[in-house]
Structure 1
Amino acid sequence: MTRTDDEPPEWAKERAREVMAAEESGEDGETEGADGEGDRDADGSDADDRVPDVPVETVDEAERLTRLARQTEDEAAAAFYRERRDELVKGHDYVPRLREDDDTLVLYPDEWMDDGTVQLDRIETTDRAVEVSLSGPGDADRYREIAAYNDAVADAVADTHGEPHADTARSFAAFMSNHYVRAVDDATPDVREEFREEYFPRNGWPTDEQLAVVDESLDVIEAVAADVDGPEES
């Protein structure tokens, strides 16, 4: 799920503090270890530059794909989302895991792992791991509110326009609720394109008739949504 606030995550603020401290500790920003050479990895890079190694955008996308996999009732779609997530974080040498006891997505550096298990003796600093809660109460409440609104719009499309727009509206409602936790009439042109080109053909099981008029259906959805009471702003 894409984060909608501007507040950086706690690890990012901590990283900023570390960078400032490192810049103040020496002319070249390196912190010296016991041997006076600084804490450097085998590849010659500062260890502090690796907290964590995975970009914020990748963390957000991994969270979004994880939520999609959990929410869909289609096992093939769920497997597809998990594979996309795994490949995404693998590109940054990380491995995703779900910690079920507190419902948290954890991204571990690949070098910590051996046969799917974290090796404690390989952990040089726990700050390199990334944790994302998947069950925040605010997010859950917001999701239910958005999903109820999107479903109401889909029902209104079915009542006023019938098929093939109705089935497309149901698919678009699910897409906007599960992918973005946003109202159907809050879709940007890029989001509409993603639905039309990627999500709908793969996960919407559209008929040829639906595909032929998908742009018209999206316009119908937006027009009908104007007459449906929308969710309150978060």
Structure 2
Amino acid sequence: MNQNNLRTVTVMRYITPLREGGSLPALAEADDDFKYVLKFRGAGHGVKALIAELLGGEIARFLGLPVPELVFANLDEAFGRMEGDEEIQDLLKFSQGLNLGLHYLSGAITYDAAVNDCDELLASKIVWLDAFITNVDRTFRNTNLLIWHKELWLIDHGASFYFHHSWDNWETTAKTSFALIKDHVLLPKATKLDEIHAEFTQKLNDTIIENFIKLIPDDWLHWENGAITPEEIRMVYFRFLSIRLQNAELFLKQAQDARKTLI
């Protein structure tokens, strides 16, 4: 597998759970002496949330959006045995092996649309990205945006690619206009969607998409008692993104129409 674009670290110290997340992520320190927000394979939606986080974050980075560095994070078998909280101990036990970490932005604050500003070009980029990857979780209730050193940063793409939780009708989902974009926290500021659409559809292509898919570790692709192979799963993700890109006019128009109802 080609994992050259992501470093791999080993988790050395569990610092504290971040209980605002339903999947119980945690702040931890790795063997490179950096701190990371860890997303665990043993939580909630398991490896599917990690795949969404990986693909969403790396697509965003490729498109020039500010995303904390993603790393593969190894969790040793003995890690967490001394943890006193049984829920956390179980989470760590079922998360042995390869997990995902996001570089911790120390001192960052949550983006608040009522207080913080966002450049219209950047807002348009984020709205287009989230429509493309079907990210349902960038709303006023939960922005998944941080202000760090006076700049806006994107975090938490684990709710993207929601089709993979049922694995049914993924081709139909790939061609949807994504009506939930109407709830996007940055939609009112996304005035340059046409410009961004032209830029991003020029940057993305099947070769680039294939490179994203190659990042998914084999270890995260053993599902449903082997009923579908890792390569078959990779092919579905590839085709989903390829079809979605070919039909990008659909979600562009949906976002533009949704904006008109707000202004």
TM-score (norm 1): 0.28
Which structure shows the bigger proportion of residues in helix conformation? 1
TM-score (norm 2): 0.25
Q: Which has the higher contact order (CA 8 A, sep 6+)?
A: 2
Which structure shows the bigger proportion of residues in strand conformation? 2
